[in-house]
Structure 1
Amino acid sequence: MDLLKMPEFLGQGTEDTTQRPPDLCVLQGWKESMLISYNAAVKKFGQFMKSKRESIYHLPLTPDVIYRFVTWAGRGEGDNNSGKITAQSLTKYLHGLKAWHLYHNKPYPYQTKPRVKLMLKASGRHDACIPPKPGKAPFLIIDLSNLYSYLTGRGAEAEAVSDLAVVAFWGMARLAKLTNARQHGPIPYKQGLTTNDVQTYKGATLLSIYKAKTAKPGEIQTIKLRPILSQLCPVEAIRRHLAKPSSAGDSIFAAWNTLYRPKLSGHSFKVGGASLRHAVGVKIDDIKSLGRWTSDCYQQYIKPLSQEEVTTSLSLLQIPRVKHRSI
């Protein structure tokens, strides 16, 4: 866990603090991604205090400060500038402030809950009048095909990027879960996808993923890849990298980290894979299983595709539109 990613959360406002062993033990009860989210909330609160020219503050926060923060951050009547955040985001920030108090063993002013609930409801009504921001853009088959063609023959590093994209798309995986910061040699146990985490069968290849965002503590999730008759076959992409000289604990896609990366979101591949499957009629339960989702959070990854986008995708894969029901 990188403590440098959460300095605001580790501090108590403007007071100097030292992390003791019990504190670090509490900290490890959260996933790093969640702590980074909490840190963003505390950082936002710090911006609020700075805007009010209150240079000294500490925990616990008072009810009045909570009310003022919600008013400052959320939208209201005649208070709709571009720096405002949605009621949904503000709710998450308040969860972060509660976790901040919990970590430092300070009492959060829970008596604010009834009034804050009404304030968030009012803010949400104003949010409804604002055009929504564009969602995560799906990475489509045509994008995958163009990337594959562009990088083929440009060396081992470029081809590692190409194969990584293929696996991320069909596996509906975040790029961070398929890569590791180490460029050479073995990586620590369960800290990233290695050659040891690949199981190959006749009809499928399975990848073991550790510390996934949707996993329970200690749970190992599995990415299921099936072969397809296309140059964009994920099983072939894995096979190519297993065939390269490496040690058992080496990262499969280490070369990705040494190449200039196309400006792709780590979520773009999950969005593209889920959206295409939904567009061709794959059942929701199957999509949730393939994406390793157990709740309705899958909905944020499914974007509508036009008939042309679907037809083009299946044409590139050489799959007839009417016959295809499972990818």
Structure 2
Amino acid sequence: MPRLERIIKGLRRIRGQQGKALQKRIIVPAILRQMRAYWVGIGSDYKCTMLWATVVTCFFGFMLAGELVVSHAQDFEPKKHLTFDSVAADSWAEPTLIQVSLRTSKTDPYGRGINVVVGRTGDDLCPVQAMFNYLRMRGNGEGALFKHEDGSPFTKPQLVMEVRKALESSGYCKAEYSGNSFRAGAATTAAELKIEDSIIKTLGRWESTAYLLYIRIPREQLVEVSRDLAQLGKSGGLGARL
């Protein structure tokens, strides 16, 4: 069975629905760039920087939108959701990676906590640079990691709305995309790059056979994946066919 087909089958299984998750289209590097171009032209610098940091972290971290932002503003709980302290870096001067510590996640049913490593890409898509740019504007104050200038939490419905507006401006059917489009897009892009299944499953935190529990993938190797994903975006890759 081809690698991509296995991943798609795995996505169906994780969602627990036969094919429903795959009705939505994926977001890949070429589309990310179009979204950013739209955001740069509207709203404040803070809003654009926050949106960009959110979506590239979501993509390169193989994350669900709901893992980064809260469902509703009133639902925010510091002990449950992401805050400033949830982000760490190997160096605050010249970082090569950031680590986002998820306290709760659908991929962590036992609530043990998950550390998501995202590497520097060195280009315009770089999630590390995007996060640093945002944190400099945000400051280290209390509240949700991703929050508006007035301090209120940035929510999942707001993220989906902003993403769909950006997609629509580029000629895409906004209804065909969801908060899962980043995670599915990252997995699909990685598969096209022929990245090993075990690494993709580790990055996406997908369950599989028991042997994955014994695999130890060096953090440096995970960092390289972020650079590889960005390189495919430079050459057009999937964007031209979607």
Same fold, judged at TM 0.5 (above): yes
Which of 197, 204, 210 does residue 291 from structure 1 map onto?
A: 204
Q: Give the Cα–Cα distance (whole angstroms) in 2 for the partners of residues 170 and 224 of structure 1.
A: 9
TM-score (normalised: structure 1):
0.47
Partner of 1:280: 193
Instruction: Tell me the CA shift for residue 248 of structure 1.
Output: 4.0
Matches within 5 A, 1:1-327: 135-152=23-40, 154=42, 155=44, 156-180=46-70, 181-182=72-73, 187-201=76-90, 202-255=95-148, 256-257=154-155, 260-263=161-164, 264-295=177-208, 314=231, 316-317=233-234
Q: Give the Cα–Cα distance (whole angstroms) in 1 for the partners of residues 28 and 236 of structure 2.
A: 15
Q: What's the Cα RMSD here?
A: 3.4
Q: Give the Cα–Cα distance (whole angstroms) in 2 for the partners of residues 245 and 175 of structure 1.
A: 20
Instruction: Tell me the CA shift for residue 245 of structure 1.
Output: 4.2
Q: Give the Cα–Cα distance (whole angstroms) in 2 for the partners of residues 179 and 144 of structure 1.
A: 18
Structure number having the greater helix percentage? 2
Q: Where do 5+ consecutive residues of structure 1 fail to align?
A: 1-87, 94-126, 297-312, 321-327
TM-score (normalised: structure 2):
0.63
SS in 2 for 1:262: helix
Instruction: Tell me the CA shift for residue 278 of structure 1.
Output: 0.8
Instruction: Tell me the CA shift for residue 247 of structure 1.
Output: 4.1
Q: Which amino acid aligns with 2:65?
A: L
Q: Give the Cα–Cα distance (whole angstroms) in 2 for the partners of residues 145 and 294 of structure 1.
A: 31
Per-residue Cα deviation, 1:226-271 (whole angstroms, up to 9, x for no partner)? 0002111110111112212434432222234467523341110001
- Bigger Cα displacement from structure 2, 168-177 vs 247-256: 247-256
CA contact (8 A) 2:84 2:144 kept: yes
CA contact (8 A) 1:230 1:318 kept: no
* Larger Cα-atom Rg: 1
Q: Percent identity?
A: 22
Q: Give the Cα–Cα distance (whole angstroms) in 1 for the partners of residues 232 and 185 of structure 2.
A: 16
Per-residue Cα deviation, 1:184-238 (whole angstroms, up to 9, x for no partner)? xxx5233211110011014311001122112142310111100002111110111
Per-residue Cα deviation, 1:284-324 (whole angstroms, up to 9, x for no partner)? 1101111112227xxxxxxxxxxxxxxxx74643699xxxx
Q: Give the Cα–Cα distance (whole angstroms) in 1 for the partners of residues 192 and 233 of structure 2.
A: 16
Q: Which amino acid aligns with 1:182?
A: A
Q: Which amino acid aligns with 1:198?
A: V
Q: Where do 5+ consecutive residues of structure 2 fail to align?
A: 1-11, 149-153, 165-176, 210-229, 238-242
CA contact (8 A) 1:153 1:159 kept: no
Q: Which amino acid aligns with 2:69?
A: T
Partner of 2:218: none
